[in-house]
Structure 1
Amino acid sequence: MNNNDSRTITIVGGGSSGWMTALYLNTLFNKEQLNYQIRVIESPDIGIIGVGEATVHSVRFFFAAMGLDENELLRETNGSLKLGILFRNWMKPVDGKTHEYFHPFEQQRLGRGMDISSMWHMSGRGTRERYDEAVSLSSELVAHRHVPKTANSQAYQGVVPYGYHIDATLLARFLRRKAVAEGVEHIEATVTSATTEGEMIQSVETDKGSFTADFFIDCTGFRGLLIDQLKQDNWESFADALPCNKAVAIQRELPDDLGAKPYTTATALSNGWAWQIDLQNRQGTGYVYDGNRLSKEEAEQELRDFLGPDAAVLKCAHLNMKVGCRKEFWVGNCVAIGLSAGFIEPLESTGLHLINLGAGLLATHQPNREVDQSIRDSYSRLMRGFYQDLKQFIVLHYCLTDRDDTDFWRAAPATVEHTPWLQSQLQIWKHKICEFHDLAGSFSTTFNDENYRYILYGMHHNPALTQSVDAAASEQLFAQANANAERARQLTSAQGDYLSQLNL
């Protein structure tokens, strides 16, 4: 089954990474004329991991660019809309009340003078309201389980940015169907090895024959079947900064009759944190934990205790997580995308985002058999920067904790020592607001100064600002913010009502 055509791309592995990459490259390169023969070899025997089922808001742009109908996407994946993440229990309770804050995808920009973040600090509002409740529309929407859609909202548009909760297995099937309809070749076969010459793959061997190509994309998950065969000692572990290396995932029935919540919940437990993600038909839950401190049996029991005796469990699975990224993402004529490229724990729902980055960057670097080494180096440098930038953002969530109830949480503040830039910035942010210029020039692709502020101030890392503010001006500014939030709530609909209209 050899294919000797020039300019062929073979993607080994399906799932979200394989089919997102195939659809992206096919849409970009073959929409006007056929430039690449694109093939996906997918094993029917290897399941999809699907750690977490949530996305960041930028994934909307991928789906829109692929020409996918948003309503169809939600119907086919049992999807719902997501406005952000509610963090609970990441610090000690205060006056018996569980610590919590919300990280949305947006922030209002109000006033002509002082920015709203500085005004919030200087006016002393932090003693009576959460930062996110004061400055964002989304906090008002989630309080009423509203999605950011109005009666006139266009596809992929809303009053604030939003992401999705999606069934990962159904998403892969949906993307596969779309990609195949557009001309991507789909072969069901199990790849057993690759035939190489130096750092170049000549062919992949399967239980259904041998397949050649000019370029290969490794989407084989943590196995890294192709990339590992080309280059040894090609992994940079993040375990020192991010020690959570295992997860137990439980699917259960939706816990109440109010339908899917339009946000993800991340609740800190004894040795990590638990996610709760509402789809149309069920809830995905899981416990991301440090396997050096907790056994899989203990982790599962803690998660079940957290969910309660009436959890109505549908499915339970245990997962090993390889936290880190490649040193070289592009070796010879092979690029790793998805879990084979790297993995950051799913605290901020960045899995599909990193796949999108990998595929998009590959497209601009032109995937050919013969390329200059500078192209490979450029791709690897940028992808490594994306993962490193994300690593420090995730560390930010841990290192500011004041919890001391377990060894895990007592050790959490020291993780910042493995992200020197963040460590120095935290000292600076004790005395000034976090602003755009602090992060300018970084590899940040989705989390900017606004996102950092939600975490910093949600975790009570507030700057000591001494400038006085006009009380009347402050009240006017936040009254305007509250009015905007109330208007957004009035214009939008509840998640349940929105989802019920998808089949009309």
Structure 2
Amino acid sequence: MQTAKKLTIVGGGAAGWMTAIYLNKYFNSQQKNFAISVIESPDIGIIGVGEATVHSIRYFFAAMGLDEAELMRRSHGTLKTGILFRNWMQPVQGQMHEYFHPFEQQQLGQDIDISSSWLLTARYKQERYDEGVSLSAHLIKSLKSPKAERSLPYQGVVPYGYHLDAVLMARYLREHAIDAGVNYIEDTISRVIPSGGNISAVCSGSNTYTADVFIDATGFSGLLIESLQKDNWQSFANALPCNRAVALQREHGEGYTPKPYTTATALSNGWVWQIDLSSRQGTGYVYDGNRLTPEQAEQELREFLGPESKVLKTRHLHMKVGCRKTFWLGNCIAIGLSGGFIEPLESTGLHLINLGARLLGTHLNNGVIAQPVRDAYNKTMNGFYDDLKQFIVLHYCLTNRDDTEFWRNAAKTAATCDGLVEKLALWQHKICEYHDLAGGFATTFTDENYRFVLYGMQHYPALQMQLGDAAQKPFSLLQQRVQQALNMTMTHQQYLAGIGG
């Protein structure tokens, strides 16, 4: 009988504990293939400010056997049906520009798709695109949750993600992992011993730990992966120049109802997130540190939030935007922030951890790892990051804001992504569809998501086609579905009260 290999994850937080839970379930549910340990420092805090998720993280939590209500209670969680973008373009008729990016689009077109119908009937003159093709845009106006009274765990009337306290979530995952058989070691790793392209051991002040496989979950420092190769980072700074953030935690005002969506409001040199947990709001300003000092950024954020805000905690962060050229070197794999980081505009942090861990499950084995396996893993992970980079750049490059140099430069960033300039030119003449993006590495943002950003930012194609009276039918059907959804869903507050949130 083959002996279980030792797999050691250095670093806790979301990256360490999500990876531990997943690999333990994948490799050890039938027979033990890996003895998995997590070494977590009691002295080094986790970043813990990325508190929103994409909707597909539900599938990860469900597959790991986590109780949804307990996860939300323990993490002070709320539900997220999408992101409301504000001020990303010049005001429209004196009103601040807004659009909503939900996780769903209703498939109501029969002879022609609903997106084309919306454009050809010039409905953009009377409503936002998201209001014309989705239910979620209407649910949030009434602060409705995506949940009906009889919705099963991880299911709703529309797809949804979460707002979670990242620190509390990591603690909950740690408990779950330990209960499932993962070995927990509390220690601070300060030194790595490389040998022949591999890591032979990691050391604290008084202890040495060996393993067959090491996973680097040490955050931006990349302590393990850096020990194997120094020149192993590709920066996305030319495409995404926001490299700093100031994060605040503030109290909800008396009688405040947490919103079931994230808000992303553009300011002078970046944008502000606002994420409502059940217990407080997490907010922060993601900005270009070459244009603002931390003090200027914090002042601008506080002015935006208003003087009535009762701030609980403030933290300044330096963000390393980009990813590894090689995520898997020898016997070491970088996951989470040690592998890369895309600014948190579309809440992709936990999603990338999920992708890295799941991909590792199909590439790692209990025998000798062939180099083509590492190469395939590295190629795919690089593809994931490039794909997400392009989607984030899309939010910036369509702007018509010219009030600061930051925004004037943002409009030029499409050229930093291979093929995006050509795609944008194409999408001036036809709708964005699946085949325009096929062959890439899309994992959660597809043509539907692209259309919400393109048409939310008023990048409409000039379509030429005559439609009859039936062209309005999809929108009548949508209004029926909207009313049904409003009637059957609970308010966000009712749902949170029902789970004890």
TM-score after normalising by structure 2: 0.98
Q: Pick from 137, 140, 146: which aligns with 2:138?
A: 140
Q: Is the 8 A contact 1:52 1:275 kept in 2?
A: no
- Corresponding position: 1:219 with 2:217: yes
Distance in 1 between the 2:194 and 2:256 partners?
55
* Aligned-partner SS, 1:370: coil
* 1-structure distance, mates of 2:309, 2:386: 37
Pairing partner for 2:336 from 338, 358, 367? 338
- Classify 1:461/1:255 alpha carbon distance in 2 versus 1 (closer, same or farther; 3 Å): farther
Match of 1:485 among 478, 482, 487: 482
Partner of residue 423, structure 1: 421
1:451 partnered with 2:471:
no
Measure the CA separation in 1 of the matches of 2:134 and 2:256.
24
Letter in 2 for 1:426: L
Q: CA deviation at 1:299?
A: 0.2
Within 5 Å, which residues of 2 pair with 1:119-198? 119-198=117-196
Change (3 A) 1:284 1:305: same
Does the alignment pair 1:461 with 2:459? yes
Query: Is the 1:22–1:38 contact (alpha carbons within 8 Å) kept by the matching residues of 2?
Result: yes
CA distance in 2 between partners of 1:246 and 1:437 (Å):
36
**Distance (whole Å) between structure 2 residues aligned to residue 57 and residue 21 of structure 1:** 19
Partner residue of 2:231?
233
Question: What does 1:371-386 correspond to in 2, within 5 Å?
Answer: 371-386=369-384
Deviation, 1:211, is: 0.6
Contact 2:262 2:273 (C-alpha < 8 Å) held by counterparts: yes
SS in 1 for 2:265: strand
5+ long unaligned stretches in structure 2: none
Match of 2:306 in 1: 308
- CA distance in 2 between counterparts of 1:46 and 1:196 reads 23
For 1:68, the aligned partner's letter is L
1:11-50 superposed Cα distances (whole Å, 9 cap, x missing partner): 0000000000000000111112211100000000111112
Structure 1 counterpart of 2:389, which letter? K
Q: Distance in 1 between matches of 2:367 and 2:402?
A: 53
- Per-residue CA deviation, residues 41-60 of structure 1 (Å, 9 max, x unaligned), is 00001111123200000000
Give distance in 2, aligned partners of 1:368 and 1:344: 32
- Selected match of 2:8 from 10, 18, 26: 10
- Answer yes or no: is the 8 Å Cα contact 1:245–1:323 preserved in 2: yes
SS in structure 1 of the partner of residue 410 of structure 2: helix
Paired residue type of 1:198:
G
Q: Which residue of 2 aligns with 1:25?
A: 23
In 2 relative to 1, CA 230–305 (structure 1 residues): closer, same or farther, beyond 3 Å?
Answer: same
1:256 deviates by 5.9
1:475 correspondence with 2:472: yes
Q: 2:407 aligns with which of 403, 406, 409?
A: 409
Q: Determine if contact 2:78/2:163 at 8 Å carries over to the other structure.
A: yes
For the residues of structure 1 that align with 2:368 and 2:9, how far apart are their CA atoms? Answer: 18
Matches within 5 A, 1:38-187: 38-187=36-185
The alpha-carbon deviation at position 226 of structure 1 amounts to 0.2
- The one-letter code of the counterpart of 2:477 is Q
RMSD: 1.1
Residue type at the aligned position of 1:69: D
Partner of 1:279: 277
Is the partner of 2:48 in helix, strand or coil?
coil
Paired AA for residue 138 in structure 2: E
Q: Report SS of the residue matched to 1:393.
A: helix
**TM-superposition CA deviations, 1:190-215 (whole Å, max 9, x none):** 00111111211111101341011000
Please give the per-residue CA displacement for 1:220-270, whole angstroms capped at 9, x wherever unaligned.
000000000001210000000000000000000124624210000000000
Structure 1 residues 314 and 298, CA gap change in structure 2 (3 angstroms) = same
Alignment partners' CA distance in 1, 2:321 and 2:492? 34
- Corresponding residue SS for 1:191: coil
Distance in 2 (alpha carbons) for counterparts of 1:257 and 1:306: 21
Deviation at 1:413, TM superposition (A): 1.0
Distance 2:43 2:157 in 1: 43
> 1:353, CA displacement in angstroms?
0.2
Q: Per-residue deviation at 1:332?
A: 0.2
Match of 1:360 in 2: 358
Distance 1:28 1:245 in 2: 36
Give the Cα separation in 2 of the matches to 1:368 and 1:343.
29
Give the structure 1 partner of residue 493 of structure 2: 496
Quote the sequence identity (%).
61
- Residues in 2 aligned to 1:184 and 1:245: alpha-carbon distance in whole angstroms: 35
Unaligned runs of 5+ in 1: none
Distance 2:255 2:462 in 1: 44
Aligned 8 A contact 1:218 1:225 in 2: yes
